[in-house]
Amino acid sequence: MLERLRAVRGFVLDMDGTLVLGDRNNHGIRALPGAVGFVEALRERGTPFCVFTNGTVKTPAECAHALQRAGFPVADDVVLTPATAAAALLARRGHRRVMVLGGKGVVEPLEAAGIETVPPLRGTSADAVLAGWYREELTFEALEAACFAALDGARVYSASLSPFFATAEGRTLGSSRVISAVLRDVARARVTVVGKPSLPALRACARHLGLPVTDLAVVGDDPGLEVPMAHKGRAFAVAVRTGIGGPDAFADRPEHLRPHLDLPDVAALGGLLTG
């Protein structure tokens, strides 16, 4: 495993629970112990990396700036989100008008890719619905508009189906999971995930880094996200225990679905890389 780790050519890093912890609105983030040093070590080794967060409160650039303020030596384009992956997938599938249940963190990347976005209002036509972070603005009317769009034939996409994400306040419920549950139950919609643990998310990272998926290592804290995504793409899977997952997180998983490395934090990963 150490030989394979050291043969990895690029890293996909989770954000919340792996590098940082913040509040439920992704504000006031602080670096987890050893995380800044780990990123500095990747830079010193000249190893390409990106950060993929399932959060869609902020735009990718805003997430990068938040990491910079927390002390991480990262570029402005280091962060990818489900909106990044969605823009590529929606364009490839020919969707041109998308009803968005989310804020600018979802809207701006889609519009930058030339996709028209519309708010969740009853009677608004759309060929796709995309659910992201929509905690404060979510209303019954918005859910109703999304349901009728789906019933009228719009394809449904979700940033994430993970029920929780890690914050300094503990586990926080993910709004895209809640919205997706309503659409599946009421409109009988099939929901396509564009964030982790989907292959479109991993492929977006590979394109960003200019590397094959199989040359990547995926590092994260959530047993339902990063490790399954790595296995889907035959990448190297690294689990850390600084967020959602604990020491027994993979105890009930078959051997081929467990992480290749299960470590306390990214500082331990950095130690293995530098020897």
All domains in the chain, ordered by first residue: 2-81+213-274 (3.40.50.1000), 82-193 (3.40.50.1000)
pLDDT tens digit sequence for 130-148: 999 998 899 999 999 999 9
Collapsed DSSP state (helix, strand, coil) of residue 71: coil
Q: At 266, phi and psi to the nearest 5?
A: -70, -20
User: CA 48, CA 202: separation in Å to the nearest integer?
Assistant: 15
The model's pTM: 0.93
- What is the arithmetic mean of pLDDT over 104-131? 96
pLDDT tens digit sequence for 259-268: 999 999 999 9
210, with CB counted inside 10 A (0-12, 13-18, 19+), is exposed
pLDDT at 28: 77
Buried/exposed code over 79-106 (b: 16+ C-beta within 10 A; e: otherwise): bbbbbbbbbbbbeeeebeebbbbbbebb
pLDDT at 136: 86
pLDDT at 117: 98
Tokens of 112: 């930058």
Confidence of residue 24 (pLDDT cuts 50, 70, 90): low
Collapsed DSSP state (helix, strand, coil) of residue 9: coil
Start-to-end Cα distance in the chain: 13
Tokens of 94: 């020919």
- What is the arithmetic mean of pLDDT over 236-250? 90
